Amino acid sequence: MTNLIPPAAKKKVVFEYWTRVVCAWGVLWSVCILVGAFLLWPTYVLLTGNNSAYASFFSAASERSDEYEELSKQLVVTSLQAKQIVELSNQMKLSDVLSDIWSVTDQDVIEVDKLTIDRDEAGLAPIVISGNASDRKSLAAFRDELQKLEYVTNVELPIKNLAKNEDINFSLQVLVKIEKK
Amino acid sequence: MKSQRLKIIGVTLTLFALALLAISLFAREITHQSDLLDEQVTALENDQAQQAQLNQLKKVITRTKEERDQVASYYIESQADSIDFLNYIETLADESFVDLVTKSASEVEKGKDKEKVTSLEVKYLVTSSLPAAERFIKLLENIPFVSEITGVTLTQKEAGEWTADITIEVVILNHENNS
């Protein structure tokens, strides 16, 4: 029967037909999507209901968590402070080093003019002692005595200090073991 | 005919757009609410697990208050404490019969990040006999502050008179850095 329709009109009818088919499918899909959205409504209501029910518990839990963190922090701070105090008290005392140096210095033959002790990152920096020795033998003895100290690793006495035999102005470096920090 | 067709297309497109908008909004809101619920449930579970620890922690905090205060008292905390420290050292010098001159006082920082320690660095010039200077150095090493002598230079000036250049660092309490 469609063959009875003139070709120009037939084209319009086919176009009209397909337009309506596409629109019908579009409406059908829209209805399906809207039904789908409607079906999500109970899930949404359930979730919002649960969230508002948990909200007060959550806020209290957050406060407790903050309190927990704050209290933990206080203890950590005190532990670090105590650790620092112990570390400092375990450090080699400069007054003890001084006492040891004086105890091995024979004041009759060695006259110390200047003594420098500094701390560095590793512990004690080399100790610098300068002064005057009555003779080479007593200076060598002084160096040996310093070398005997428990924490001394080496005593550096430049050769030029030993050029003279008597009345020697010296400057020596005492190297100290590295302290564990 | 043409206007009717356009009307049908318009209605269909509007309906389709509205349906898409509705479902995307719903889906987004449900995802958001679901994430929120998940976060709250996790927080509540953690809270329940931490409850016993929190109570124990509170007891420890209460029990150790005195000790913690004692430890903190060895630190310089404010500018007033720094002045107290400087005054304390001057009193110590008077009592030790040494002549004390404060050469400088400044804040220094050592270490990096969490290990960073801020200290008050004070440089002193002490003039006295050698035994008195040594005694004073010993006293400085035993003051009730978290401190360390970082350098000493003893120099003989005249017979019996010595000068001691002393550098001391006192740790300043810094809660943020120490945590």
- The predicted complex's ipTM stands at 0.71
- Indicate if A75 and A51 belong to the same structural domain: yes
CB-CB under 8 Å, B30 with A44? yes
Q: Provide, rounded to the nearest whole percent, the portion of chain B with pLDDT above 70.
A: 94
Residue B76 identity (one-letter amino acid): I
The whole-number average pLDDT for the span A39-66 is 88
- Indicate if A13 and A81 belong to the same structural domain: yes
- Indicate if A9 and A84 belong to the same structural domain: yes
Residue A100 contacts residue A146 (beta carbons within 8 Å)? no
Residue of chain B nearest A68, judged by CA positions? B54
CB-CB under 8 Å, A65 with B47? yes
Residue A33 lies in a domain: yes
The reported pLDDT for the residue numbered A27 is: 93
Residue A181 lies in a domain: no
Residue B98 vs residues A104, B85, B130, B145: alpha-carbon distances, Å: 25, 17, 10, 21
How is chain B split into domains, by residue range?
Answer: 2-63, 74-178
- Indicate if A127 and A72 belong to the same structural domain: no
pLDDT band per the 50, 70, 90 thresholds, residue A179: low
Is pLDDT at A7 greater than 90 in this prediction? no
Q: Does residue A147 or residue A56 have the better pLDDT?
A: A147
- Indicate if A128 and A101 belong to the same structural domain: yes
Residue A67 identity (one-letter amino acid): E
The reported pLDDT for the residue numbered B66 is: 92
The whole-number average pLDDT for the span B94-113 is 88
pLDDT in tens, B36-85: 999 888 888 888 888 888 889 899 999 999 999 998 889 988 777 888 89
Dist. CA A53–CA A48, nearest whole Å? 8
pLDDT band per the 50, 70, 90 thresholds, residue A23: very high
Dist. CA A166–CA A164, nearest whole Å? 6
Of A47, A61, A95, the CB nearest to B138: A95
Phi first, then psi: what are they for B178, rounded to 5°?
-75, -10
Q: For tokens 């420890």, what's the residue?
A: B60
- Average pLDDT over all residues of chain A: 88
The reported pLDDT for the residue numbered A2 is: 63
- Indicate if A72 and A15 belong to the same structural domain: yes
The whole-number average pLDDT for the span B136-158 is 93
Cα dihedral: A79, A85, A86, A88 (round 10): 140
pLDDT band per the 50, 70, 90 thresholds, residue B15: very high
Q: Which of A47, A63, A88 is the last residue of a domain?
A: A88
- Enclosing domain of residue A61: 2-88
Dist. CA A103–CA A111, nearest whole Å? 13
- Indicate if A10 and A74 belong to the same structural domain: yes
Q: Provide, rounded to the nearest whole percent, the portion of chain A with pLDDT above 90.
A: 41
Strand, coil or helix: A149: coil
Q: Does residue A169 or residue B176 have the better pLDDT?
A: A169
DSSP for A77-106, please give it. HHHHHHHHHHHHHHSPPHHHHHHHHHHT--
- A82 to chain B: which residues are within 8 Å by CB? 71
The reported pLDDT for the residue numbered B102 is: 94
Least confident of A102-111, A162-171, B54-63, B137-146: A162-171
Phi first, then psi: what are they for B165, rounded to 5°?
-90, 115
CB-CB under 8 Å, A84 with B61? no
- Indicate if A108 and A41 belong to the same structural domain: no
Fold of B74-178: Alpha-Beta Plaits (3.30.70)
Of B20, B46, B149, the CB nearest to A33: B20
- Indicate if A75 and A116 belong to the same structural domain: no
Rounded CA Rg of chain A: 47
Say what angle helices A7-90 and B2-63 make with each other, to 10 degrees.
10
Dist. CA A26–CA A22, nearest whole Å? 6
pLDDT band per the 50, 70, 90 thresholds, residue B1: low
Is pLDDT at A104 greater than 50 in this prediction? yes
The reported pLDDT for the residue numbered B114 is: 67
Nearest of A151, A110, A109 to residue A129 by alpha carbon: A110
pLDDT band per the 50, 70, 90 thresholds, residue A103: very high
Residue B124 contacts residue B166 (beta carbons within 8 Å)? yes
Q: Does residue B2 or residue B155 have the better pLDDT?
A: B155
- A31 to chain B: which residues are within 8 Å by CB? 19
The reported pLDDT for the residue numbered A181 is: 47
Q: Say whether residue A57 is in contact with chain B using an 8 A CB cutoff.
A: yes
- B149 to chain A: which residues are within 8 Å by CB? 94, 119
Dist. CA B179–CA A87, nearest whole Å? 18
CB-CB under 8 Å, B40 with A57? yes
Is pLDDT at B177 greater than 50 in this prediction? no
User: Rounded to a whole number, what is the distance in Å from the CA of A29 to chain B's nearest CA?
Assistant: 7
The whole-number average pLDDT for the span B16-23 is 93
Residue B109 contacts residue B144 (beta carbons within 8 Å)? no
- Indicate if A118 and A148 belong to the same structural domain: yes
Cα dihedral: B109, B114, B115, B121 (round 10): 20
pLDDT in tens, A132-154: 999 888 998 999 999 999 999 99
Q: Say how many domains are in chain A.
A: 2
CB-CB under 8 Å, B141 with A95? yes
Residue B168 contacts residue B104 (beta carbons within 8 Å)? no
The reported pLDDT for the residue numbered B53 is: 87
Q: Which of A39, A62, A88 is the last residue of a domain?
A: A88
